[in-house]
Structure 1
């Protein structure tokens, strides 16, 4: 009785048997396709892609080298460290502020030891950055003297000041000896001097494009104007518009204002008349007047 019950589960009709056979046939076909057919498609690779794939090892090597890259530190004068520069060197905010406060008093550090005394940086950080300190040559020569003594607020300290050269007699070789001045800037200084006929004041160094306040201070410690040069003065009341506009301190628009002013008000007699002209650089009036003939 029990066997009959079980056999009833395996009793199929003709249609069911046909369906089972077809199902087994489909399974066998699919298994055969899976085992005997290669599904890895051969992709066509362009020449450019083949070239990049060939360079992959080189690219990987470059990536690895970039991970090991560390920023190179170039020689620098520690007196002129900015906030960003100090941060990149590993200095704390308080250490940078101490240096900036010291510089605001118009004081300079002349050695790594003085730098540490002012900023309070650690010995470990000083050992890393001190080899890159670059001080002016005159500082090195002073520190190299065995009998050197640092004088402060004493009358005879002036004996330590280097003899100054006349800026109007300075050559390019003289200028490039100053820390912060290279071949390009030295040529700009000489060209401005030649166009004016000579400098009448060291304040004119501010008119040379590319000179920072620190470099101008270095120039002032090496050069001065000993005597006013003999220059070809511009007859401001009779010169033509073209002649006036060719002067280094007068652009064409200002030259037109000068011609207009003198045609409406008569001759320009002095500096007071000059500063009444629209667009005239008042802060340079006294210097410009030395190149004019009233």
Structure 2
């Protein structure tokens, strides 16, 4: 029998094998091209995704850096009376300017206005323009400043004509505008509790006594004979001695003494504000009875 005889459709067995091999090669070629193209496409896609991820990461890092810088530069309102060396340094004050402020405060004097701060420290107008907007004085000081416009219908009393705040009676206090019988009684009771006022700023502790009333009182009365206080060193004071001073109960005194011992002493009264529940608003008053000696 002839081995090269044609099969149906006129193809020999050799033709059929050739067609099969050709189709196999064609399929392999198509598969190879598809795989190559797919690999290139995946590679390009991965590359693009990588670029996008890098861009996003750079953006995130940039925002984090910006936020970090903003946090470092952020300034919160502060009372300029309590500027310490480090605070002054961060605000760009010179050593001489900080020293002038420290000397002024060491004499138990208080800065009550922006103009007075510049006069004492001699900082530049540029410094005041940049930082004075952050000054935060006590409310009674601000009210007193705003009410300094002269009232020509009111006669200004001289120092000798004014009564001594440590000896006035309830009747004397009731005569002051804004102070009634109840407030007058509170002022006298608080004065007795203290053993006499050391400074007029202690009037801020009288419940219900508004800044305007304090200003009116100071127009008629002055602290001619303040109680003399021998300040105690807060770095060495005992719990019992501290609890006997105004503004401290026994528990707070014990907390403060332990806090100071752990730190091996403090260099600024502002450090006490880190104590939980510490009455920060009393920082100016407690310094009438305490001092810091290292």
Higher relative contact order (CA 8 A, sep 6+): 2
Q: TM-score, normalised by structure 2?
A: 0.40
Q: TM-score, normalised by structure 1?
A: 0.40
